[in-house]
Chains A and B, each alone.
Chain A
């Protein structure tokens, strides 16, 4: 290890540790004694948090598997009318944050909403005794999460099904197995690691969610953390709850890493053959088409129409100077964050490329840890050290200089951008790394042998080859910031609002129609990564 200690590796390590300070502060709370709030929590609410989280995870597992796996199978194995659109349209629900789809279904299915009104008209009854399932419930939350998170399962399962060498399935047929045995004994088990990897991603999103469960009144860890922090101002207990939640996340991460490793074995040396897939006709084609259309309609089209309807209704009054400020605030915040995050990622990756050693490798990995940590937890973790720093500096300044420094870090945009950076750095790291790894070291070397200096190599080779992945990284972070709710809610400066927070506040005030416009804007911007994703897949298949 010692031989790897040089200027660059130490610098990178220190930088990575600084960037992840919130995480280490949080971990230190593991050793802090618990207080009365914790005792109270453990006796009353904590069991409920755990049970609700487990139910959510179980429900979302079933829901995303049911929606994601059959669609992936049909799309990867057959040709049918409409497939060329459906195969990417199935990703559309990714653009819809869970809390936003929760608002739309509440609006659609409430007593005054279009569905119940229509039902009453059909059954010719104006009375209230028509039973209707309550959307704002644990079951409702499971449906909402399943509708927007199944694309993770779909995407990974489809890739796995498509990459399974056709010959493996044909081998099964030559050995006497019919289509059913082939699916359940060959195709599905081979895809299993990929499906589990997709599922763990969906479950991590479920655990990280704050907006949906808060709105539906389903108490889970995230709402508990928020409540402890904002209601009681008890950072210790909030931090300790966060650690408990992180244990769940770490377990999921371990499953994910394990299944990705498995998946690598399972694809083995198989070469996918370029074969024409069988074409479905008649009722089979119709069944396949409907199967794939269903999740798109309920996960994207219906909610988007509802948002559009709300937006049009309130457009005349809502489109005012205040709204423009809101949009400006949100977009400039996302722009700055994306720029900073991409720059930091680029810096890390170039140091790694030029001075590769195990310490730098690990440092980059540490810096990317934030992606798994729920936004609520990150917010609490950022606010603790920043508030401590501000308070300490302020009291020192009062004592010695007789001035108040006030809030320098906490309660400023700096804290917010820092938290986003920590959370989304791995998004940028991954997409830039994929671009950078295409620039093989031998390309640099061959350019050098052709007489190019560092500057020429950068200008003529790296920048052109890297630009598209830089833009991708930028857009991905940009949209993540736009969608992010709990971090913003907790860390935003006083009187500073974003689209997500506005939608949340309006919905919490039972003014769903007013939530429509900001939510619609988030969803429309959220389409950008979906388009990027489907293009990337298209390119890989071409």
Chain B
């Protein structure tokens, strides 16, 4: 029984459509993540689930209860959702313990005390229950917000860009800590972010959104290696699209040579297509006879990212170990390491 079912929902702000027919399932205990650029509607989707924003069509189920549809709108406070806000939204006039207590005031005092103690232990802030939010660091505030949202054991935890207010170095560590906490509590969670590294660190499965549509919902591995849409390919990881022509049912012809690709059902023979080339598809090898000219390079510490020019003028990216200090204008040897090419309709 999935914890969250979203069926073809529509949502709008005044007269502007924000979400167009989004569907999504989240299993119990699963951590999902919505990725997308700002304005793609991912926060609105979260607010729809929390009941902070009504929907115009479709259905949202939490557990087996219909909470939102065109004619149904269960009030936020009755939904048993937990939410971590972008600005944490801690109550500034309450100390940490009281913040966490807010959602569980119907518990007996003893139960409250126990729950607060457990959560403080879990977020590593035991002994700081009397502190006020302004006395905490950003990362600590973030974890208190998480503990507060978890206190009443919600059916689902929603997190809106929970790490955006923190230092970049902190984000990934904290994301892993949060994953650990969620797994300990066995909670179903949905997070939105525009950062793929956060998503990779925390989520079991994730989706990429663009302009109110959910393009692909999949594992991180598949989003990177088998994107179903050029936008997904562009948003997750690096890469370029080069021109190609469908050669046969399982092959595409490009400037890189003939590549294996499953194109039978989608494209006609001789159709012009675009082919995704990731930096890790082209491996630098000094012994290779295949030489390409370096037109740009970026030093990344652990590796170099070279931009190489193909014979027809198209450019591809290539990663190499960081001691390969080749100059711009020089030619370097490369090898192709690509099992199956990802092919899209021709992009202009």
Query: Interface-forming stretch among A174-182, A226-234, A507-515?
Result: A174-182
B105-146 contacts to A, CB under 8 A, are 132-134, 141, 145
Asked if B312 is at the interface (CB within 8 A of a chain A CB), the reply is: no
Residue on B nearest A175 in the bound complex, by CB: B103
A172 at the interface (CB under 8 A from B): yes
- The listed residue with most B CB atoms (<10 A of its CB), out of A172, A173, A267, is A173
Whether the pair B93, A174 counts as a contact (CB closer than 8 A) is no
Q: Is B14 an interface residue (CB 8 A)?
A: yes
A226–B235 Cα distance when bound, in Å, is 77
Shortest B164–chain A CB gap in Å is: 11
Interface: A265 (CB within 8 A): yes
Of A167, A174, A265, A271, the contact of B92 (CB 8 Å cutoff): A265
Contact status B50-A174, CB under 8 Å:
yes
> How far, in whole Å, are A172 and B83 apart by their CA atoms in the complex?
10
**Chain A 487-504 against B: per-residue CB contact (8 Å), 1 yes, 0 no?**
000000000000000000
Q: Would you list which residues of chain A between 250 and 274 have a CB under 8 Å from chain B?
A: 265-271
Task: Tell whether B180 is near chain A: CB-to-CB under 8 Å.
Answer: no
Max chain B CB contacts within 10 Å: which of A170, A175, A266, A267?
A: A175
A190 touching B91, Cβ below 8 Å: yes
Pair B92/A268 contact, Cβ less than 8 Å: yes
The answer to whether B89 and A168 have CB atoms under 8 Å apart is yes
Kindly state whether residue B251 has any CB partner on chain A within 8 Å: no
Contacts of B165 in A (CB 8 A): 269
Binary contact readout A264-304 vs B (1 if CB under 8 angstroms, 0 otherwise): 01111111000010000000000000000000000000000
| Contact (Cβ within 8 A) B93 A189 | yes
- Distance between A275 CB and nearest chain B CB, rounded to angstroms: 9
In the complex, A235 has a CB within 8 A of chain B: no
C-alpha spacing A267/B13, complex, angstroms = 28
| Contacting residues, chain A, for B141 (C-beta < 8 A) | 269
Contacts of A266 in B (CB 8 A): 92-93
Q: In residues 143-160 of chain B, which contact A (Cβ within 8 Å)?
A: 145, 148-149, 151-152, 158
Q: Which of B74-82, B279-287, B302-310 contacts A (4 or more CB under 8 A)?
A: B74-82
Contact indicator B133/A174 (Cβ below 8 Å): no
Leading 4 A-B pairs by shortest Cβ distance: A175-B103, A167-B89, A171-B89, A173-B76
Closest to B94 in A: A189
Instruction: Please state if B52 and A270 are interface contacts (CB–CB under 8 Å).
Output: no
Q: B85 near A: Cβ within 8 Å?
A: yes
A186 within 8 A of B: yes
B87 at the A/B interface (Cβ < 8 Å)? yes
Residue of B with least CB distance to A190: B93
Residues of A within 8 A of B81 (CB): 174
A175 touches B85 (CB 8 A): no
| B260 CB-CB contact with A under 8 Å | no
Apart from A178-B77, A268-B133, A269-B141, 15 more pairs, CB < 8 Å: A167-B86, A170-B76, A171-B90, A171-B145, A172-B102, A173-B76, A174-B83, A176-B80, A189-B91, A265-B132, A265-B134, A266-B93, A268-B134, A271-B86, A276-B14
A241: min CB distance to chain B, Å: 39
Closest Cβ of chain A: how far from B291's Cβ, in Å?
49
The answer for the CA separation of A190 and B165 in the assembled complex, in Å, is 22
Nearest residue (CB) in B for A193 is: B93
Asked if B52 contacts A173 (CB within 8 A), the reply is yes
Q: Report the bound CA distance from A168 to B82 in whole Å.
A: 13
Q: Is the CB of B91 within 8 A of A186?
A: yes
Contact A175 B152 (CB under 8 A): yes
Distance between Cα atoms of A176 and B92 in the complex (Å): 18
Judge whether A120 is part of the interface by a CB distance below 8 angstroms: no
- Which of the listed residues A167, A171, A265 has the most CB atoms from chain B within 10 Å of its own CB? A171
Contacts between the two chains (Cβ within 8 Å), count: 88
Minimum CB–CB distance for B136 against chain A, Å: 10
A residues sitting closer than 8 Å to B (CB atoms) are: 165, 167-168, 170-178, 185-186, 189-190, 192, 265-271, 276
Q: How near does chain A come to B327, taking the closest CB pair, in angstroms? A: 37
Q: B residues within 8 A CB of A174? A: 50, 52, 76-77, 79, 81-83, 149, 158
**B75, B80, B85: the one within 8 Å of A171 (CB):** B85
In the complex, which of the residues A176, A192, A269, A270 contacts B103, with contact meaning CB atoms closer than 8 Å? A176
Identify the closest chain B residue to A177 (Cβ): B77
Q: Which residues of A contact B79 (CB under 8 A)?
A: 174
With A165-B87, A177-B77: A276-B13 Cβ-Cβ less than 8 Å: yes
Q: How far is the CA of A318 from the CA of B68 in the complex (A)?
A: 69
Chain B positions within 8 Å of A189 at CB level:
91, 93
* C-alpha spacing A268/B88, complex, angstroms: 11
19 pairs, CB–CB < 8 Å, chain A vs chain B: A168-B91, A170-B85, A171-B85, A171-B90, A171-B91, A172-B91, A173-B51, A173-B52, A174-B82, A174-B149, A176-B77, A176-B80, A177-B77, A178-B75, A186-B91, A189-B91, A189-B93, A265-B92, A266-B93
Q: How far is the CA of A276 from the CA of B89 in the complex (A)?
A: 18
> A269 CA to B134 CA in the complex, in Å?
8
User: Which single residue of chain A is at the shortest CB-CB distance from B106?
Assistant: A176
Measured between beta carbons, the chain B residues less than 8 angstroms from A268 are 90, 92, 133-134
CA distance A173 to B51 in the complex (A): 9
Residues in A neighbouring B134, C-beta threshold 8 A: 265, 268
Closest to A264 in B: B134
CB distance from B96 to the nearest CB of A (A): 14
Q: Are A170 and B92 interface neighbours, CB within 8 A?
A: no
Bound-state Cα–Cα, A479 to B165, Å: 45
Cβ–Cβ < 8 Å partners of A190 in chain B: 91-93
Quick check: B77 and A267 within 8 Å, CB to CB? no
Interchain CB contact under 8 A, A170 and B89: yes
When A167-B86, A265-B134 are in contact, do A173 and B77 touch as well, CB less than 8 Å?
yes
Set of chain A residues within 8 Å of B50, measured between Cβ atoms = 170, 174
Whole-angstrom distance between the Cβ of A157 and the nearest chain B Cβ:
15
Contact string against A for B residues 156-200, beta-carbon threshold 8 Å, 1 for contact and 0 otherwise? 001000000100000000000000000000000000000000000
Please, which residues of chain A bring their CB within 8 A of the CB of B132?
265
* In contact, B87 and A167 (Cβ under 8 angstroms): yes
B residues in contact with A186, CB < 8 Å: 91
Contact A192-B93, Cβ < 8 Å, known A170-B76, A265-B134: yes
How far, in whole Å, are A269 and B92 apart by their CA atoms in the complex?
9
- Give A431 to B217 CA distance when docked, in angstroms: 55
CB closest residue in chain B, given A170: B52
Q: A173-B52, A175-B103, A177-B102 are in contact. Are A269 and B82 (CB under 8 A)?
A: no
A residues near B86, Cβ cutoff 8 Å: 167, 271
CB distance from B160 to the nearest CB of A (A): 8
B37-86 with Cβ < 8 A to chain A: 50-52, 75-83, 85-86
Q: Which of A173, A174, A185, A190 has the most CB of B within 10 A?
A: A174
Give the most central of A178, A189, A268: most B CB within 10 Å: A268
Q: How far is the CA of A168 from the CA of B88 in the complex (A)?
A: 8
Closest residue on chain B to residue A171 by CB atoms: B89
User: Which residues of the partner chain A approach B88 to less than 8 Å between Cβ atoms?
Assistant: 269
Report how far A402 CA is from B265 CA in the complex, Å: 121
State whether B92 touches A267 (Cβ < 8 A): yes
From B14, B82, B92, B152, residue with most partner A Cβ within 10 Å: B92
Q: Which residues of chain A have C-beta atoms less than 8 A from B77's C-beta?
A: 173-178
The residues of A that contact B76 with a CB separation of less than 8 Å are: 170, 173-174
Task: Tell me, rounded to whole Å, the shortest Cβ–Cβ distance linking B265 to chain A.
Answer: 44
Q: Which residues of A contact B89 (CB under 8 A)?
A: 165, 167-168, 170-171, 270
